Structure 1
Amino acid sequence: MSSGVGFDTGYKAPAGGSVGAYKSKKSSAAYARNSRQTAAYGDDRTLRASKTTSNAGAGAETTSTKDCKELITGKLYFSKARSKPFDSQQCKVINIDNAYLYEGYNSDFGPLTLNFVHKFVKEIDNMFGKYSKVIHHCSPSYKAEANGTFLMGCYLIISQKWSIKQISEAFGGSYLNSLRPFRDAGVGPDDFPLTVIDCLKGMERAVQLNWYSKGGFDCFEFEQMLKHGDLSWVVPDQ
């Protein structure tokens, strides 16, 4: 794997402990967290944002990856540049900033639901059937970066069978620990931050226990559960 471009989020872990510590109660359920989220494009079950090509970049023969983090050599990249890279004949750029909206109650901003994770994983898989390179781009805001990194990590766990250690090494250094942790929906101080690593460990465990499988997840059923009570399963059928 290429070392790529180092990322600095500016977030510093609180003193007294590692923000990457595994919080079993939350991380095991992180992949199915109950949250109010809506797709900006209504009932469209694909990432329409990934279908949009900038007119300025239309017809381009190459796409620059110099400001991207290379995760899979020559194939998969992550970008948080202020400007979205252009599509090209061989490279597809996916941006979900405006495709999925997390509707927080107060100061909460994620993580995105399992439904969104599932759609994202399928979209990346589909893109590799058409393009030799894929860039996942998100804006540099701490909210978009945390959710974007979480989605990319889930893809690597689900489709590429990567471990948390491999994901951490691919992003480089202490990048995952530097991301702003997710928080609860309260209005007071957040005394139990949920890190991106917590969420990825929950996703990894869910795959190991077959609580989630790419071929067995039903998006429609999941959405119906949210509509009727705003609840979702942590352990399927229980």
Structure 2
Amino acid sequence: GMVDSFHVIDRIHLVISAAESHPDFVCLSIDRSFFYTGFSDDFGPMSLGTVYEFFCVLEKLMIKHETDSIAIQTLPNFRSVTNAVFLVGSYMIMKFSFGIDVVMDKVKNVMAMTVPYRDVSPGIQNFDLSVQDCLNGLIKARSLGWVDFGPDGFDLEEYSHYDSPLNADLHEIVPGKLVAMRGPKEIPNGDQWEDVPQDDGTFGHREFSPEHFVDILQQFNVQAVVRLNDPQYSKQVFIDNGIAVAELCFEDCTSPPVDVAAKFLAIA
């Protein structure tokens, strides 16, 4: 089949092809190595943990094959190419400290094959998130010191542990300031967690009690929990452990009303 190859920077090329290997390149396959777990019809962007893994794998390849051309290989479909461009762009930002104009110039020849990311909510989208938006976000986070891939800069093990829906489904969004998590549920028998099956009896998802989150939130020095969904647990456990609870409920899958946003900022 036809192979589309685009030089990006240094010895790095983007290769859009269904073939698994190419004679002129050392290949790194995006589709077989780096994954995004969708909720509905969403397909990215990749998590910060995945961005870091890609960064490390590519760095090692560059060192191991110090004269060869490296192909970042992706399948010829819009979503795969979009994720590949996002990862390669992220690499350039974290490796070379490039600004957005330089990054977009390096990938300009493949941008026609990218599509906007979509929200996790099913149905019609009212907002398109472009690769450029995501890369701008990473640049901003890096400039503020929120993301650091240097030695001791990023703890992949900790990130992956809390990221897992089997452990916490929790992320530190702004270091030292904001943590996002799935809401706990009241679980009978005083258990800390419970696995909920799907209709066919296979594993569906894991629910966590407020007790499960107390230790984790204290590790992150969380002072207050803001409840955005309908209450599904007693807040007393948090209060008893020195964590305040604020009620700012609004309809799921909608934008927060202005008064909710204002109250949230006041608490933060």
- Work out whether the TM-score is over 0.5: yes
Structure having the larger proportion of residues in helix:
2
Larger Rg: 2
Residue matched to 1:116: 50
Greater RCO (CA < 8 Å, at least 6 residues apart): 1
**Residues 47-75 of structure 1 deviation map (CA, whole Å, 9 limit, x = unaligned):** xxxxxxxxxxxxxxxxxxx83111124x1
Q: How far does the alpha carbon of each residue in 1:14-43 deviate from its partner, in whole angstroms, 9 at most, with x for none?
A: xxxxxxxxxxxxxxxxxxxxxxxxxxxxxx
Dislocated runs of 4+, deviation >4 Å: none
Distance 2:59 2:88 in 1: 12
Aligned length: 169
State yes or no: 1:129 paired with 2:66.
Answer: no
Task: Normalising by structure 1, report the TM-score.
Answer: 0.66
Amino acid corresponding to residue 184 of structure 1 in structure 2: D
Amino acid at match of 2:155: D
Report the CA distance between 1:178 and its aligned residue.
5.7
> What is the correspondence of 1:83-98 to structure 2 with a 5 Å cutoff?
83-86=19-22, 91-98=25-32
Which position in structure 2 is the counterpart of 1:69?
6
Runs (5+) with no aligned partner, structure 2:
178-268
Structure 1 spans left out of the alignment, 5+ residues:
1-65
The corresponding residue for 1:201 is 136
Identity of aligned residues (%): 27
* Residue deviations 1:159-209 (CA, integer Å, cap 9, x gap): 122221112112226x43762111111112110111111100011111111
AA in 2 matched with 1:118: Y
Q: Using a 3 Å threshold, how does the CA distance of structure 1 residues 233 and 128 change in structure 2: closer, same or farther?
A: same
Moved more, 222-231 or 127-136: 222-231
Q: 1:194 to 1:205 in 2, by over 3 A?
A: same
Alignment match, 1:236: 175
**Separation in 2, partners of 1:110, 1:225:** 19
Query: With structure 2 as the length reference, what TM-score do the two structures score?
Result: 0.59
Alignment of 1:41-190 (within 5 A): 67-73=4-10, 75-86=11-22, 91-131=25-65, 132=67, 133-172=69-108, 175-176=110-111, 179-190=114-125
Q: Per-residue deviation at 1:87?
A: 5.5
Distance in 2 of aligned mates of 1:68 and 1:178: 13
Rounded Cα–Cα distance in structure 2 between residues aligned with 1:200 and 1:172: 14
Letter in 2 for 1:68: S
Q: Which has the higher strand share?
A: 2
